[in-house]
Amino acid sequence: MDIARVISKRSSALWAPFLILILLASLPLCAPQYTIILLTTIFMYIVITVSWTMFSGPTGYISLAPAAFFGVGVYTSALLGLVLPLPAIIGIGGLASFCLALFVGALTLRLRGTYFVMFTFGLVELLLHFVLWWEVNITGTTGRVVPTVNNTKVFYFMLIIFVILMFALYTIRGSRFGLALEAIGQNEDAAAHTGVNVTMVKVITFAISAFFMGAAGALMATRWTYIDPKIAFNPLLSFMPVLMAIFGGMGQLYGPIIGAAIFAYLEEFLITRFPYYYMLIFGTIMVIAIVYMPEGLVGLIRRLLKSSTEGRHART
Amino acid sequence: MPVLEGKGLTKYFGGLVAVSNVDLHVDEGEIVGLIGPNGAGKTTLFNLISGALPLRSGTILFKGQKISGLKPYEICRRGVARTFQSIKVFPDMSALQNVLLGSYFGVSPGMSSMEALREAKEILEFMGLSASSATRARDLTLASQKRLEVARALATKPQLLLIDEMMAGLNPTEVAQAIELVSSIRKNGITIIMIEHVMKAIMNVCERIIVLHHGQKIAEGTPQEIVSSETVIKLYLGERARAAS
Amino acid sequence: MIVRVLDIGIAGLLLGGIYALIAVGLTLQYGVARVLNIAHGEFIMIGAFITWSLYIIFGINPLLSLAICGPAIFTIGFLLYRTLFRRLRISSASPAAFEGSSMLACFGLLFIIQNLAILIWGADIKGYSYLAFPIRFWGQTFAANRLITLGFALAIGLIFYFFLTWSRLGKAIRAAAQDAAAAELMGINIDQVLALCFGFGALMAGLGGTLLSMSYKIQPTMGLEYTVIALIVIVLGGLGSIPGSFIGGLLLGLVGSIVTYIQPGLSLVAYYLLFMLLLLAKPTGILGK
**pLDDT at position A312:** 54
% of chain B exceeding 90 in pLDDT: 57
Q: Is the pLDDT of residue A7 over 90?
A: no
Rounded to a whole number of angstroms, the distance from the CA of A200 to the nearest CA of chain B is 11
Q: Is the pLDDT of residue B242 over 60?
A: no
User: Which C positions 181-200 lie with beta carbon below 8 A of chain A?
Assistant: none
Rounded to a whole number of angstroms, the distance from the CA of B222 to the nearest CA of chain A is 30
Separation of alpha carbons A275 and A281, rounded Å: 10
Across the interface, whether the CB atoms of C279 and A115 are under 8 A apart is answered yes
Instruction: Give me the mean pLDDT over the C202-228 stretch.
Output: 90
Across the interface, whether the CB atoms of C272 and A129 are under 8 A apart is answered yes
Contact (CB, 8 A) for A86 and A156: no
Chain B residues near residue A184 by CB distance under 8 angstroms = none
**Average pLDDT of every residue of chain C:** 85
Closest CA to A267 of A8, A1, A38: A38
A contact set with B (CB within 8 A):
176, 179-180, 182-183, 186-187, 189-198
Separation of alpha carbons A294 and A300, rounded Å: 9
Chain B residues near residue A193 by CB distance under 8 angstroms = 50, 52, 72-73, 76, 81-82, 84
Does residue B84 lie within any of the structural domains?
Answer: no
- For residue A266, give the 3-state DSSP assignment: helix
Across the interface, whether the CB atoms of A118 and C36 are under 8 A apart is answered yes
**pLDDT at position B100:** 94
Task: Give pLDDT tens digits for A66-88.
Answer: 999 999 999 999 999 888 899 99
Q: DSSP letter at C266?
A: G
Q: Is the pLDDT of residue A179 over 70?
A: yes
Between chain A and chain B, the number of residue pairs with CB atoms below 8 A apart is: 79
Claim to verify: residue B237 and residue B196 sit in the same structural domain: yes
Sequence-distant (6+) residues with CB within 8 A of A197 are B71, B73
Across the interface, whether the CB atoms of A194 and B106 are under 8 A apart is answered yes
Chain A residues near residue C88 by CB distance under 8 angstroms = 290-291
Separation of alpha carbons B56 and B22, rounded Å: 12
Full DSSP string of B115-170: HHHHHHHHHHHHTT-GGGTTSBGGGS-HHHHHHHHHHHHHHT--SEEEEE-SSTT-
Strand partners for B11: B19
Does residue C105 lie within any of the structural domains?
Answer: yes
**pLDDT at position C178:** 77
- For residue A196, give the 3-state DSSP assignment: coil
Sequence-distant contacts of A111-114: CB under 8 A, at least 24 apart: A111/C279, A111/C280, A111/C283, A112/C283, A113/A60, A113/A61, A113/A62, A113/C96, A113/C99, A113/C100, A114/C36, A114/C99, A114/C100, A114/C103
Strand partners for A226: A145
Chain B residues near residue A190 by CB distance under 8 angstroms = 84, 88-90, 152
Q: Judging by DSSP bridges, how do beta strands A144-145 and A226-227 pair with one another?
A: antiparallel
Contact (CB, 8 A) for C265 and A136: yes
**pLDDT at position B203:** 85
Among B71, B92, B101, the residue with its CB nearest the CB of A179 is B101
Phi, psi of C131 (to 5 degrees): 50, 45
Does residue B174 lie within any of the structural domains?
Answer: yes
Instruction: Give me the mean pLDDT over the C184-202 stretch.
Output: 87
For C84, the closest chain A residue by CA position comes to A291
**pLDDT at position A1:** 42
Contact (CB, 8 A) for C34 and C16: no
- For residue A300, give the 3-state DSSP assignment: helix
pLDDT band at C138 (very low <50, low <70, confident <90, very high): low
Phi, psi of C20 (to 5 degrees): -60, -45
C71 contacts chain A (CB < 8 A): no
**pLDDT at position A102:** 95
Separation of alpha carbons C137 and A148, rounded Å: 60
Question: Treating both helix axes as pointing N-terminal to C-terminal, what angle do A86-108 and A151-174 enclose, rounded to 10 degrees?
Answer: 40
Among B52, B73, B92, the residue with its CB nearest the CB of A197 is B73
Q: Which range among A130-139, A210-219, A255-264 has the greatest average pLDDT?
A: A210-219
Q: Judging by DSSP bridges, how do beta strands B57-62 and B2-13 pair with one another?
A: antiparallel
Q: Which range among A32-46, A202-216, C102-116 has the greatest average pLDDT?
A: A202-216
**pLDDT at position A311:** 55
Closest CA to B165 of B134, B141, B142, B131: B142
**pLDDT at position B245:** 47
**pLDDT at position A47:** 96
Across the interface, whether the CB atoms of A133 and C273 are under 8 A apart is answered no
Q: Is the pLDDT of residue C4 over 90?
A: no
C120 contacts chain A (CB < 8 A): no
Q: Which amino acid is at A112?
A: R
Among C96, C99, C269, the residue with its CB nearest the CB of A126 is C269
Among A180, A193, A196, the residue with its CB nearest the CB of B82 is A193
Across the interface, whether the CB atoms of A239 and C107 are under 8 A apart is answered yes
Full DSSP string of A9-58: HHHHHHHHHHHHHHHHHHHHHHS-HHHHHHHHHHHHHHHHHHHHHHHHHH
**Average pLDDT of every residue of chain A:** 86
Which of A194, A198, A203 to mutate to test binding with chain B, by most B CBs within 10 Å of its CB?
Answer: A194
Q: Which range among A109-123, A133-147, B115-129, C119-133 has the greatest average pLDDT?
A: B115-129
Neighbours of chain C (3+ CB pairs under 8 A): A
Phi, psi of B52 (to 5 degrees): -70, -30
Question: Treating both helix axes as pointing N-terminal to C-terminal, what angle do A198-224 and A151-174 enclose, rounded to 10 degrees?
Answer: 170
Separation of alpha carbons C112 and C114, rounded Å: 6
Note down the domain range covering B6: 2-79+160-244
Instruction: Give me the mean pLDDT over the C127-144 stretch.
Output: 74
pLDDT band at C287 (very low <50, low <70, confident <90, very high): low
Separation of alpha carbons B154 and B128, rounded Å: 13
**pLDDT at position A251:** 72
pLDDT top residue among C6 and A212: A212
Sequence-distant (6+) residues with CB within 8 A of C104 are A62, A242, A246, A286, A290
Sequence-distant (6+) residues with CB within 8 A of C180 are C34, C190, C194
Q: Which range among A149-153, A283-287, B76-80, C268-272 has the greatest average pLDDT?
A: B76-80
Rounded to a whole number of angstroms, the distance from the CA of B156 to the nearest CA of chain A is 7
Strand partners for A227: A144
Separation of alpha carbons A15 and A9, rounded Å: 10
Separation of alpha carbons C37 and B168, rounded Å: 42
Q: Is the pLDDT of residue B240 over 70?
A: no
DSSP element (H, E) containing A132? helix A113-134
Chain B residues near residue A109 by CB distance under 8 angstroms = none
Task: Give pLDDT tens digits for C19-34.
Answer: 898 999 998 898 888 8
Q: Is the pLDDT of residue B6 over 70?
A: yes
Claim to verify: residue B240 and residue B120 sit in the same structural domain: no
Across the interface, whether the CB atoms of B153 and A194 are under 8 A apart is answered yes
Separation of alpha carbons A175 and A191, rounded Å: 16
Give the count of beta carbons closer than 10 Å to the beta carbon of residue B94. 16
Closest CA to B82 of B110, B114, B42: B42
Separation of alpha carbons A282 and B74, rounded Å: 46
Chain A residues near residue B152 by CB distance under 8 angstroms = 190, 194
pLDDT band at C236 (very low <50, low <70, confident <90, very high): confident
Instruction: Give me the mean pLDDT over the A206-229 stretch.
Output: 93
Claim to verify: residue B58 and residue B114 sit in the same structural domain: no
**pLDDT at position B233:** 78
Task: Give pLDDT tens digits for A262-277.
Answer: 888 888 887 777 888 8
Instruction: Give me the mean pLDDT over the C106-135 stretch.
Output: 87
Q: Is the pLDDT of residue C151 over 90?
A: no
Torsion on CA atoms A128, A129, A132, A133, rounded to nearest 10: -150
Closest CA to C14 of C215, C235, C264, C277: C215
pLDDT band at B156 (very low <50, low <70, confident <90, very high): very high
Sequence-distant (6+) residues with CB within 8 A of A127 are A68, A71, A72, A233
Phi, psi of B34 (to 5 degrees): -120, 115
Separation of alpha carbons C85 and C76, rounded Å: 13
What is this model's ipTM? Answer: 0.90
Structural domain ending residue among the three candidates B142, B157, B172: B157
Q: Which of A239-243, A245-249, B231-235 has the lowest mean pLDDT?
A: B231-235
Domain boundary assignment for chain A: 33-315
Sequence-distant (6+) residues with CB within 8 A of B217 are B22, B23, B24, B210, B211
CATH of the domain at B16: 3.40.50.300
Chain C residues near residue A113 by CB distance under 8 angstroms = 96, 99-100
Across the interface, whether the CB atoms of A183 and B93 are under 8 A apart is answered yes
Instruction: Give me the mean pLDDT over the A129-143 stretch.
Output: 87
Rounded to a whole number of angstroms, the distance from the CA of B24 to the nearest CA of chain A is 22
Q: Judging by DSSP bridges, how do beta strands B191-195 and B31-35 pair with one another?
A: parallel
As for how many domains chain C has, the answer is: 1
Q: Is the pLDDT of residue C114 over 90?
A: yes
C279 contacts chain A (CB < 8 A): yes
Q: Judging by DSSP bridges, how do beta strands B31-35 and B16-27 pair with one another?
A: unpaired
User: Which C positions 18-37 lie with beta carbon below 8 A of chain A?
Assistant: 36
CATH of the domain at C99: 1.10.3470
pLDDT band at C1 (very low <50, low <70, confident <90, very high): low
**pLDDT at position A310:** 60
Chain B residues near residue A196 by CB distance under 8 angstroms = 73, 101, 105
Phi, psi of C84 (to 5 degrees): -70, -60
Does residue C286 lie within any of the structural domains?
Answer: no
Among C111, C228, C273, the residue with its CB nearest the CB of A282 is C111
Chain A residues near residue C107 by CB distance under 8 angstroms = 239, 242, 286
Rounded to a whole number of angstroms, the distance from the CA of B229 to the nearest CA of chain A is 35
**pLDDT at position C246:** 86
Sequence-distant (6+) residues with CB within 8 A of A176 are B100, B101, B104, B105, B113, B116
Question: Treating both helix axes as pointing N-terminal to C-terminal, what angle do C95-121 and A275-292 enclose, rounded to 10 degrees?
Answer: 160
Sequence-distant (6+) residues with CB within 8 A of B105 are A176, A180, A194, A195, A196, B73, B76, B77, B156
**pLDDT at position B50:** 94
Closest CA to C48 of C204, C252, C248, C208: C208
Between chain A and chain C, the number of residue pairs with CB atoms below 8 A apart is: 102
Chain A residues near residue B81 by CB distance under 8 angstroms = 193-194
Across the interface, whether the CB atoms of A291 and C266 are under 8 A apart is answered no
**pLDDT at position C289:** 42
Chain C residues near residue A246 by CB distance under 8 angstroms = 104
Sequence-distant (6+) residues with CB within 8 A of A164 are A212
Closest CA to A51 of A181, A187, A207: A207
pLDDT band at B239 (very low <50, low <70, confident <90, very high): low
Separation of alpha carbons C175 and C197, rounded Å: 12
Separation of alpha carbons B74 and B82, rounded Å: 13
Burial class (CB within 10 angstroms; exposed 0-12, middle 13-18, buried 19+) of A174: exposed
Contact (CB, 8 A) for B53 and B70: no
Phi, psi of C90 (to 5 degrees): -70, -40
For A58, the closest chain B residue by CA position comes to B92
Note down the domain range covering C261: 2-121+145-281
Chain C residues near residue A284 by CB distance under 8 angstroms = 108, 112
pTM for this one? Answer: 0.85
Q: Which range among A114-123, A211-220, C260-269 has the greatest average pLDDT?
A: A211-220
Q: Is the pLDDT of residue B241 over 60?
A: no
Q: Is the pLDDT of residue C119 over 80?
A: yes
Claim to verify: residue B66 and residue B167 sit in the same structural domain: yes
pLDDT top residue among C133 and B87: B87
pLDDT band at A316 (very low <50, low <70, confident <90, very high): very low
Chain A residues near residue C116 by CB distance under 8 angstroms = 280
**pLDDT at position A28:** 80
Across the interface, whether the CB atoms of A117 and C100 are under 8 A apart is answered yes
Among A176, A186, A192, the residue with its CB nearest the CB of B73 is A192
C277 contacts chain A (CB < 8 A): no
Across the interface, whether the CB atoms of B81 and A193 are under 8 A apart is answered yes
**pLDDT at position C218:** 92
**pLDDT at position B158:** 94
Q: Is the pLDDT of residue B235 over 80?
A: no
Return the percent helix, strand and coil in chain B, to nearest 5: 45, 25, 30
B contact set with A (CB within 8 A):
50, 52, 71-73, 76-77, 81-82, 84, 88-93, 97, 100-102, 104-107, 109, 113, 116, 152-153, 155-156
Does residue C25 lie within any of the structural domains?
Answer: yes
Does residue C130 lie within any of the structural domains?
Answer: no
Closest CA to C153 of C275, C59, C47, C255: C47
Closest CA to A63 of A124, A132, A130: A124
